[in-house]
Structure 1
Amino acid sequence: MKTIINTNNSPAPIGPYSQAVAAGGLLFVSGQIPMNPETGDVVTTGITDEAIQVMENLKAILVEAGVNFDDIIKTTIFLTDMQTFAQVNEVYGSYFTANFPARETVQVSALPKNVNVEISVIALKA
């Protein structure tokens, strides 16, 4: 059985998918982009602000699902420019304290709405 997780505190999906799905003790969170959930506007004030918005969007979904960043076991970071890795990594790292999740970071040619960063996560959900 699967449970669909959605919250108004993170941007609504821009396609036929859910913000997150819980199944088999895991939570699969769809990739989040730097979109402000209140306005629907994409954050364009720099990669650091974009990364913060992405992490806040992820946080809202995690909270709705009853988990937190400590429960994340795997992340995937998509960047349109690997030169922004250090700034994104600094923001990303500030949301974790220890026992960091597994992760990969990949450069892609484009992301939805022409954003520069997207992050998806998998977490344990008891």
Structure 2
Amino acid sequence: MKKIDKLIYNSASLIVIILIAFIVQSCNQAPKVEDKEIIVEQVKPEYFLLRPETEKAYGYSHAVKIGNDIKISGAVSMDDAGNPTAVGDFEQQMKNCYSDLEKILTHYGCTFDDVVVENIFTTNMPLFLELAAYRSTIYTKQFPTGSWLGVKELA
């Protein structure tokens, strides 16, 4: 083989090796994502105060609706001034809580049939379990998912 032919042959081999390396390296790169404009519709939260003075004093909203979701804070047996009611009567406290929850659901055009999650925190789990059947008068079609948690104290 002539010297020039050898040089061309070796150069061609080197170019092929470089091209193969480039192709292999290109396969490891993430595909290019084209920049697309994404339009997100801003959903404004709708706040609901069941007991405005009490809720403002403690810094919370009893419920907030965002889109089709409604987030409801904990229900406590209290009067409009924020004073505890039915002290010592667990069953009545439970009824008072569900009554408040119903007011919130009604405000948003919903019923207990629309509730999908219910988390219950109680300081007396054994007594709650005795009275839990009351919930079947609230949830007449189906029960929501949720958790029942016994805690030391509630605010």
TM-score by length of 1: 0.77
Q: Percent identity?
A: 23
Deviation at 1:98, TM superposition (A): 1.4
Q: How does 1:90-101 map to 2 (within 5 A)?
A: 90-101=133-144
- Deviation larger for 23-32 or 89-98: 89-98
Alignment of 1:85 with 2:133, yes or no, is no
Answer with 1 or 2: which has the greater Rg. 2
Deviation at 1:49, TM superposition (A): 0.7
What amino acid is the match of 2:68? G
- Aligned counterpart in structure 1 of residue 86 of structure 2, from 43, 64, 75: 43
Cα offsets for 1:41-86 (capped at 9, x unmatched) = 4221411111001100111111112211111010010111211122
- Aligned counterpart in structure 2 of residue 6 of structure 1, from 49, 53, 59: 49
**Root-mean-square deviation over aligned CA pairs:** 2.2
Q: Is the 8 A contact 2:47 2:63 kept in 1?
A: yes
Which segments of 5 or more consecutive residues in structure 1 lack a partner in the other structure? 113-126
Alignment of 1:67 with 2:67, yes or no, is no
Structure (1/2) with the larger helix percentage: 2
Which segments of 5 or more consecutive residues in structure 2 lack a partner in the other structure? 1-43
Alignment of 1:33 with 2:76, yes or no, is yes
Structure 2 SS opposite 1:31: coil
- Deviation larger for 31-40 or 59-68: 31-40
Alignment of 1:104 with 2:147, yes or no, is yes
CA distance in 1: counterparts of 2:85 and 2:78, whole angstroms: 4
Structure 2 SS opposite 1:110: coil
TM-score by length of 2: 0.63
Cα distance change on mapping 1:39 and 1:65 into 2, 3 Å: same
- 1:58 corresponds to which residue? 101
CA distance in 2: counterparts of 1:65 and 1:106, whole angstroms: 27
Structure (1/2) with the larger strand percentage: 1
What amino acid is the match of 1:84? L
- Deviation larger for 24-33 or 84-93: 84-93
CA distance in 2: counterparts of 1:100 and 1:21, whole angstroms: 22
CA distance in 2: counterparts of 1:44 and 1:28, whole angstroms: 27
Q: How many residue pairs were aligned?
A: 111
